[in-house]
Amino acid sequence: MQRNYEIVDRIERTRNLDRESLELLLTTEDGALREYLAAKARETAQRIYGNCVYIRGLIEFTNYCKNDCYYCGIRRSNGCAERYRLSEEEILNCCKNGYELGFRTFVLQGGEDGFYTDERICEMVSEIKRRYPDCAVTLSIGERERKSYEAFFKAGADRYLLRHETADEAHYKKLHPEEMSFQHRMQCLAELKEIGYQTGCGFMVGSPYQTFDTLYEDLQFIRELQPEMVGIGPFIPQKDTPFGKMQAGTMEQTLRLLSIIRLLHPSVLLPATTALGTIHPKGRELGILAGANVVMPNLSPVAVREKYKLYDNKICTGDEAAECRYCMERRMESIGYQVAVNRGDFKNN
Protein backbone atom coordinates (compact mmCIF):
# COMPACT_ATOMS: atom_id res chain seq x y z
CA MET A 1 0.00 0.00 0.00
CA GLN A 2 2.72 2.41 1.08
CA ARG A 3 4.51 1.56 -2.16
CA ASN A 4 1.54 2.77 -4.21
CA TYR A 5 1.58 6.18 -2.60
CA GLU A 6 5.23 6.38 -3.49
CA ILE A 7 4.34 5.95 -7.15
CA VAL A 8 2.45 9.24 -6.99
CA ASP A 9 5.28 10.95 -5.12
CA ARG A 10 7.73 9.69 -7.70
CA ILE A 11 5.72 11.10 -10.61
CA GLU A 12 5.74 14.43 -8.83
CA ARG A 13 9.47 14.27 -8.15
CA THR A 14 10.71 12.93 -11.48
CA ARG A 15 7.95 14.32 -13.73
CA ASN A 16 7.86 10.92 -15.34
CA LEU A 17 6.20 7.56 -14.86
CA ASP A 18 6.70 4.06 -16.18
CA ARG A 19 4.24 1.89 -18.05
CA GLU A 20 3.45 -0.30 -15.02
CA SER A 21 2.73 2.63 -12.72
CA LEU A 22 0.37 4.07 -15.29
CA GLU A 23 -1.60 0.84 -15.48
CA LEU A 24 -1.69 0.57 -11.71
CA LEU A 25 -2.98 4.12 -11.28
CA LEU A 26 -5.62 3.66 -13.97
CA THR A 27 -6.90 0.35 -12.59
CA THR A 28 -6.56 0.65 -8.82
CA GLU A 29 -9.74 0.33 -6.81
CA ASP A 30 -8.06 1.75 -3.73
CA GLY A 31 -10.13 4.85 -3.02
CA ALA A 32 -7.48 6.38 -0.76
CA LEU A 33 -4.85 6.11 -3.50
CA ARG A 34 -7.21 7.73 -6.02
CA GLU A 35 -7.82 10.59 -3.61
CA TYR A 36 -4.09 10.92 -2.93
CA LEU A 37 -3.42 11.24 -6.67
CA ALA A 38 -6.13 13.88 -7.11
CA ALA A 39 -5.01 15.82 -4.02
CA LYS A 40 -1.39 15.94 -5.18
CA ALA A 41 -2.45 17.15 -8.61
CA ARG A 42 -4.81 19.74 -7.16
CA GLU A 43 -2.10 21.06 -4.82
CA THR A 44 0.31 21.29 -7.75
CA ALA A 45 -2.16 23.36 -9.78
CA GLN A 46 -2.89 25.59 -6.79
CA ARG A 47 0.80 26.18 -6.14
CA ILE A 48 1.16 27.68 -9.62
CA TYR A 49 -2.27 29.09 -10.43
CA GLY A 50 -3.82 29.58 -6.99
CA ASN A 51 -7.54 28.97 -6.72
CA CYS A 52 -8.15 30.67 -10.07
CA VAL A 53 -9.83 28.89 -12.92
CA TYR A 54 -9.29 30.44 -16.32
CA ILE A 55 -12.26 30.78 -18.64
CA ARG A 56 -12.10 30.67 -22.42
CA GLY A 57 -14.99 31.69 -24.63
CA LEU A 58 -15.50 28.97 -27.21
CA ILE A 59 -16.86 30.03 -30.58
CA GLU A 60 -17.76 27.08 -32.78
CA PHE A 61 -17.82 28.95 -36.06
CA THR A 62 -18.19 26.22 -38.67
CA ASN A 63 -19.17 22.57 -38.70
CA TYR A 64 -18.18 21.99 -42.31
CA CYS A 65 -15.24 19.61 -42.43
CA LYS A 66 -13.24 18.03 -45.21
CA ASN A 67 -12.01 15.25 -42.93
CA ASP A 68 -13.71 12.00 -42.14
CA CYS A 69 -12.50 11.02 -38.66
CA TYR A 70 -14.43 7.91 -37.60
CA TYR A 71 -15.31 9.28 -34.16
CA CYS A 72 -16.46 12.79 -35.04
CA GLY A 73 -20.04 13.90 -35.60
CA ILE A 74 -19.11 16.66 -38.05
CA ARG A 75 -17.11 14.32 -40.34
CA ARG A 76 -17.79 15.00 -44.01
CA SER A 77 -19.65 11.72 -44.57
CA ASN A 78 -22.21 12.44 -41.90
CA GLY A 79 -25.22 13.34 -44.01
CA CYS A 80 -27.30 13.91 -40.88
CA ALA A 81 -25.19 16.88 -39.77
CA GLU A 82 -26.91 20.15 -40.56
CA ARG A 83 -24.09 22.40 -41.73
CA TYR A 84 -23.56 26.04 -40.80
CA ARG A 85 -20.96 28.77 -40.96
CA LEU A 86 -20.82 31.97 -38.95
CA SER A 87 -20.08 35.20 -40.77
CA GLU A 88 -17.29 37.46 -39.59
CA GLU A 89 -19.93 39.77 -38.20
CA GLU A 90 -21.55 36.97 -36.21
CA ILE A 91 -18.17 35.92 -34.84
CA LEU A 92 -17.36 39.49 -33.82
CA ASN A 93 -20.73 39.67 -32.12
CA CYS A 94 -19.87 36.58 -30.07
CA CYS A 95 -16.64 38.30 -29.03
CA LYS A 96 -18.47 41.48 -28.07
CA ASN A 97 -20.91 39.52 -25.99
CA GLY A 98 -18.05 37.52 -24.47
CA TYR A 99 -15.95 40.57 -23.71
CA GLU A 100 -18.80 42.13 -21.76
CA LEU A 101 -19.12 38.91 -19.79
CA GLY A 102 -15.46 39.06 -18.77
CA PHE A 103 -13.88 36.69 -21.28
CA ARG A 104 -10.33 37.65 -22.25
CA THR A 105 -9.63 34.63 -24.45
CA PHE A 106 -11.62 33.70 -27.52
CA VAL A 107 -11.22 30.23 -28.96
CA LEU A 108 -12.24 29.95 -32.59
CA GLN A 109 -12.92 26.30 -33.26
CA GLY A 110 -14.25 24.56 -36.30
CA GLY A 111 -14.05 21.74 -38.76
CA GLU A 112 -11.46 21.94 -41.52
CA ASP A 113 -13.47 24.22 -43.74
CA GLY A 114 -11.89 25.49 -46.95
CA PHE A 115 -14.29 28.45 -47.03
CA TYR A 116 -12.15 30.05 -44.35
CA THR A 117 -9.06 30.72 -46.42
CA ASP A 118 -5.87 31.95 -44.76
CA GLU A 119 -6.88 35.48 -45.75
CA ARG A 120 -10.29 35.20 -44.09
CA ILE A 121 -8.82 33.75 -40.90
CA CYS A 122 -6.10 36.43 -40.77
CA GLU A 123 -8.65 39.15 -41.35
CA MET A 124 -10.83 37.82 -38.55
CA VAL A 125 -7.97 37.39 -36.10
CA SER A 126 -6.56 40.85 -36.71
CA GLU A 127 -9.99 42.44 -36.40
CA ILE A 128 -10.60 40.71 -33.04
CA LYS A 129 -7.16 41.80 -31.85
CA ARG A 130 -7.77 45.34 -33.08
CA ARG A 131 -11.03 45.60 -31.16
CA TYR A 132 -9.84 43.72 -28.08
CA PRO A 133 -6.07 44.18 -27.76
CA ASP A 134 -6.17 42.89 -24.19
CA CYS A 135 -7.54 39.52 -25.29
CA ALA A 136 -5.86 36.33 -26.45
CA VAL A 137 -7.06 34.59 -29.59
CA THR A 138 -6.82 30.82 -29.81
CA LEU A 139 -7.32 28.96 -33.06
CA SER A 140 -8.48 25.36 -33.28
CA ILE A 141 -9.05 24.78 -36.96
CA GLY A 142 -7.00 21.68 -37.63
CA GLU A 143 -4.08 20.95 -39.90
CA ARG A 144 -2.72 23.59 -42.25
CA GLU A 145 0.65 24.27 -43.80
CA ARG A 146 3.43 26.07 -41.97
CA LYS A 147 3.04 29.27 -43.96
CA SER A 148 -0.62 29.48 -42.94
CA TYR A 149 0.24 29.03 -39.28
CA GLU A 150 2.88 31.73 -39.67
CA ALA A 151 0.38 34.09 -41.25
CA PHE A 152 -2.18 33.54 -38.46
CA PHE A 153 0.51 34.17 -35.87
CA LYS A 154 1.54 37.36 -37.61
CA ALA A 155 -2.11 38.43 -37.70
CA GLY A 156 -2.11 38.15 -33.91
CA ALA A 157 -3.20 34.63 -32.98
CA ASP A 158 -1.64 33.74 -29.63
CA ARG A 159 -2.49 30.09 -29.13
CA TYR A 160 -3.36 27.01 -31.18
CA LEU A 161 -5.13 23.86 -30.12
CA LEU A 162 -4.52 20.74 -32.17
CA ARG A 163 -5.11 17.53 -30.29
CA HIS A 164 -2.70 14.87 -31.49
CA GLU A 165 -5.55 12.34 -30.83
CA THR A 166 -3.07 9.49 -30.22
CA ALA A 167 0.71 9.28 -30.23
CA ASP A 168 0.65 5.72 -31.56
CA GLU A 169 0.65 5.59 -35.33
CA ALA A 170 -1.11 2.21 -35.57
CA HIS A 171 -3.83 3.50 -33.24
CA TYR A 172 -4.09 6.72 -35.27
CA LYS A 173 -4.85 4.63 -38.36
CA LYS A 174 -7.74 2.95 -36.56
CA LEU A 175 -9.33 6.30 -35.76
CA HIS A 176 -8.83 7.97 -39.13
CA PRO A 177 -9.23 7.10 -42.81
CA GLU A 178 -6.23 6.26 -44.97
CA GLU A 179 -5.91 9.76 -46.43
CA MET A 180 -5.16 11.31 -43.03
CA SER A 181 -1.56 11.35 -41.94
CA PHE A 182 -0.22 10.85 -38.44
CA GLN A 183 3.11 12.30 -39.56
CA HIS A 184 1.50 15.46 -40.81
CA ARG A 185 -0.44 16.04 -37.61
CA MET A 186 2.73 15.61 -35.57
CA GLN A 187 4.59 17.91 -37.94
CA CYS A 188 1.90 20.56 -37.48
CA LEU A 189 2.35 20.43 -33.71
CA ALA A 190 6.11 20.81 -34.00
CA GLU A 191 5.68 23.77 -36.35
CA LEU A 192 3.14 25.50 -34.12
CA LYS A 193 5.58 25.25 -31.24
CA GLU A 194 8.48 26.54 -33.35
CA ILE A 195 6.50 29.51 -34.61
CA GLY A 196 5.88 30.54 -31.04
CA TYR A 197 2.25 29.73 -30.34
CA GLN A 198 1.16 28.61 -26.92
CA THR A 199 0.37 25.17 -28.27
CA GLY A 200 -2.12 22.55 -27.13
CA CYS A 201 -2.17 18.85 -27.91
CA GLY A 202 -4.43 16.22 -26.42
CA PHE A 203 -6.50 13.10 -26.89
CA MET A 204 -9.81 11.46 -26.12
CA VAL A 205 -9.94 9.16 -23.11
CA GLY A 206 -11.39 5.75 -23.95
CA SER A 207 -11.28 6.24 -27.71
CA PRO A 208 -11.87 2.97 -29.55
CA TYR A 209 -8.80 0.67 -29.56
CA GLN A 210 -6.98 2.78 -26.96
CA THR A 211 -4.82 0.68 -24.62
CA PHE A 212 -2.53 1.34 -21.66
CA ASP A 213 0.30 1.20 -24.18
CA THR A 214 -1.14 3.91 -26.41
CA LEU A 215 -1.90 6.05 -23.34
CA TYR A 216 1.65 5.58 -22.19
CA GLU A 217 2.80 6.87 -25.59
CA ASP A 218 0.46 9.86 -25.23
CA LEU A 219 2.00 10.79 -21.89
CA GLN A 220 5.55 10.39 -23.18
CA PHE A 221 4.64 12.55 -26.17
CA ILE A 222 3.37 15.27 -23.83
CA ARG A 223 6.64 15.07 -21.88
CA GLU A 224 8.62 15.57 -25.09
CA LEU A 225 6.53 18.31 -26.69
CA GLN A 226 6.07 20.30 -23.46
CA PRO A 227 2.89 21.91 -24.75
CA GLU A 228 1.45 24.92 -22.95
CA MET A 229 -2.00 23.29 -23.04
CA VAL A 230 -3.35 19.75 -23.02
CA GLY A 231 -6.98 18.99 -23.87
CA ILE A 232 -8.38 15.65 -22.80
CA GLY A 233 -11.96 14.50 -22.46
CA PRO A 234 -13.85 11.25 -22.68
CA PHE A 235 -14.70 9.82 -26.08
CA ILE A 236 -18.49 9.96 -26.47
CA PRO A 237 -20.10 8.13 -29.38
CA GLN A 238 -22.09 10.10 -31.94
CA LYS A 239 -24.76 7.85 -33.40
CA ASP A 240 -24.28 8.82 -37.06
CA THR A 241 -20.58 7.94 -37.15
CA PRO A 242 -18.80 4.60 -37.69
CA PHE A 243 -18.03 4.57 -33.95
CA GLY A 244 -21.63 5.31 -33.03
CA LYS A 245 -22.07 2.04 -31.15
CA MET A 246 -18.70 1.99 -29.42
CA GLN A 247 -18.32 2.42 -25.69
CA ALA A 248 -17.79 5.85 -24.21
CA GLY A 249 -14.72 6.72 -22.16
CA THR A 250 -15.32 7.08 -18.42
CA MET A 251 -15.18 10.00 -16.06
CA GLU A 252 -13.01 8.06 -13.64
CA GLN A 253 -10.28 7.39 -16.23
CA THR A 254 -10.42 11.00 -17.39
CA LEU A 255 -10.00 12.33 -13.85
CA ARG A 256 -7.05 10.06 -13.15
CA LEU A 257 -5.37 11.07 -16.41
CA LEU A 258 -5.95 14.77 -15.69
CA SER A 259 -4.15 14.28 -12.37
CA ILE A 260 -1.28 12.36 -13.92
CA ILE A 261 -0.82 15.00 -16.63
CA ARG A 262 -0.79 17.76 -13.99
CA LEU A 263 1.98 15.96 -12.10
CA LEU A 264 4.00 15.23 -15.25
CA HIS A 265 3.76 18.81 -16.48
CA PRO A 266 2.90 21.03 -13.48
CA SER A 267 2.34 24.38 -15.21
CA VAL A 268 0.25 23.11 -18.13
CA LEU A 269 -3.08 24.79 -18.90
CA LEU A 270 -5.50 21.91 -18.52
CA PRO A 271 -9.22 22.25 -19.26
CA ALA A 272 -12.04 20.37 -17.61
CA THR A 273 -13.82 19.88 -20.93
CA THR A 274 -17.42 20.03 -22.05
CA ALA A 275 -17.22 16.31 -22.84
CA LEU A 276 -16.37 15.65 -19.19
CA GLY A 277 -19.36 17.77 -18.18
CA THR A 278 -21.49 15.77 -20.61
CA ILE A 279 -20.83 12.33 -19.14
CA HIS A 280 -21.39 13.47 -15.54
CA PRO A 281 -23.34 16.45 -14.15
CA LYS A 282 -20.41 17.39 -11.90
CA GLY A 283 -17.71 16.34 -14.35
CA ARG A 284 -16.11 19.76 -14.75
CA GLU A 285 -16.04 20.48 -11.02
CA LEU A 286 -14.47 17.08 -10.41
CA GLY A 287 -12.01 17.80 -13.20
CA ILE A 288 -10.87 20.97 -11.43
CA LEU A 289 -10.58 19.05 -8.18
CA ALA A 290 -8.43 16.50 -10.02
CA GLY A 291 -5.96 19.18 -11.17
CA ALA A 292 -7.51 20.91 -14.19
CA ASN A 293 -7.44 24.74 -14.21
CA VAL A 294 -9.36 25.89 -17.30
CA VAL A 295 -13.00 25.76 -18.40
CA MET A 296 -14.36 26.71 -21.79
CA PRO A 297 -17.96 27.90 -21.70
CA ASN A 298 -19.69 28.22 -25.03
CA LEU A 299 -20.11 31.61 -26.70
CA SER A 300 -21.59 30.32 -29.95
CA PRO A 301 -25.03 31.66 -30.90
CA VAL A 302 -27.73 29.42 -29.44
CA ALA A 303 -29.18 28.93 -32.93
CA VAL A 304 -26.14 26.86 -34.02
CA ARG A 305 -25.14 25.17 -30.77
CA GLU A 306 -27.14 22.03 -31.41
CA LYS A 307 -25.49 21.65 -34.81
CA TYR A 308 -21.89 21.54 -33.59
CA LYS A 309 -22.36 18.01 -32.46
CA LEU A 310 -19.06 16.20 -32.25
CA TYR A 311 -20.77 13.68 -29.94
CA ASP A 312 -24.28 13.00 -28.63
CA ASN A 313 -26.03 14.63 -25.63
CA LYS A 314 -23.72 17.64 -25.54
CA ILE A 315 -24.62 19.96 -22.65
CA CYS A 316 -25.61 23.65 -22.62
CA THR A 317 -26.88 23.70 -26.21
CA GLY A 318 -29.91 25.78 -25.20
CA ASP A 319 -28.20 28.32 -22.96
CA GLU A 320 -27.22 31.85 -23.82
CA ALA A 321 -23.57 32.78 -23.31
CA ALA A 322 -24.40 34.79 -20.21
CA GLU A 323 -26.15 31.83 -18.60
CA CYS A 324 -23.11 29.61 -19.30
CA ARG A 325 -20.78 32.23 -17.92
CA TYR A 326 -22.62 32.69 -14.63
CA CYS A 327 -23.45 29.01 -14.30
CA MET A 328 -19.74 28.31 -14.57
CA GLU A 329 -18.92 30.94 -11.96
CA ARG A 330 -21.38 29.37 -9.52
CA ARG A 331 -20.06 25.91 -10.22
CA MET A 332 -16.48 26.98 -9.56
CA GLU A 333 -17.44 28.89 -6.41
CA SER A 334 -19.24 25.80 -5.13
CA ILE A 335 -15.86 24.05 -4.96
CA GLY A 336 -13.90 27.03 -3.66
CA TYR A 337 -12.49 28.41 -6.91
CA GLN A 338 -12.71 31.83 -8.56
CA VAL A 339 -13.21 32.41 -12.26
CA ALA A 340 -10.37 34.71 -13.41
CA VAL A 341 -11.08 37.69 -15.66
CA ASN A 342 -7.75 37.92 -17.49
CA ARG A 343 -6.00 36.30 -20.43
CA GLY A 344 -4.79 33.40 -18.33
CA ASP A 345 -1.48 32.79 -20.04
CA PHE A 346 0.83 29.85 -19.46
CA LYS A 347 3.15 30.32 -16.50
CA ASN A 348 6.64 28.98 -16.82
CA ASN A 349 7.63 27.10 -13.73
Pick between residue 216 and residue 243 the one whose CB is nearest to ligand SAH: 243
CB of 207 to ligand SAH, least distance (A): 8
Q: Report yes or no: 180 and 67 within 8 Å, Cβ to Cβ.
A: yes
Q: What per-residue string of b and e applies to 63-99 under the rule 16 or more CB within 10 Å gives b?
A: bbbebbbbbbbbbbebeebeebbbeeebbbebbebbb
SS3 17: coil
Instruction: Choose which of 23, 68, 88, 112 interacts with ligand SAH (CB under 6 A).
Output: 112
Instruction: Choose which of 54, 71, 106, 197 interacts with ligand SAH (CB under 6 A).
Output: 71
**What Cα–Cα distance (Å) separates residue 142 from each residue in 91, 122, 200, 303, 304?**
18, 15, 12, 24, 20
Instruction: Choose which of 57, 98, 142, 297 interacts with ligand SAH (CB under 6 A).
Output: 142
Pick between residue 110 and residue 266 the one whose CB is nearest to ligand SAH: 110
Pick between residue 112 and residue 320 the one whose CB is nearest to ligand SAH: 112
| Stretch 221-280 residues interacting with ligand SAH (CB under 6 A) | 233, 235-236, 238, 275
Number of residues that bind ligand SAH (CB under 6 A): 19
Instruction: Choose which of 78, 105, 109, 293 interacts with ligand SAH (CB under 6 A).
Output: 109
290 binds ligand SAH (CB under 6 A): no
Q: Nearest Cα to 323, choosing from 79, 155, 97?
A: 97
199 binds ligand SAH (CB under 6 A): no
Which residues are registered as beta bridge partners of 321? none
Q: Nearest Cα to 65, choosing from 108, 111, 110, 109?
A: 111
Instruction: Choose which of 292, 311, 316, 321 interacts with ligand SAH (CB under 6 A).
Output: 311
Instruction: Choose which of 40, 42, 159, 163 interacts with ligand SAH (CB under 6 A).
Output: 163
Pick between residue 136 and residue 189 the one whose CB is nearest to ligand SAH: 189
Dist. CA 301–CA 25, nearest whole Å: 40
Dist. CA 343–CA 137, nearest whole Å: 9
CB of 273 to ligand SAH, least distance (A): 8
Q: Report yes or no: 251 and 286 within 8 Å, Cβ to Cβ.
A: yes
SS3 135: coil
Pick between residue 7 and residue 69 the one whose CB is nearest to ligand SAH: 69
Residues that bind ligand SAH (CB under 6 A): 71-72, 109, 111-112, 140-142, 162-163, 165, 204, 233, 235-236, 238, 275, 310-311
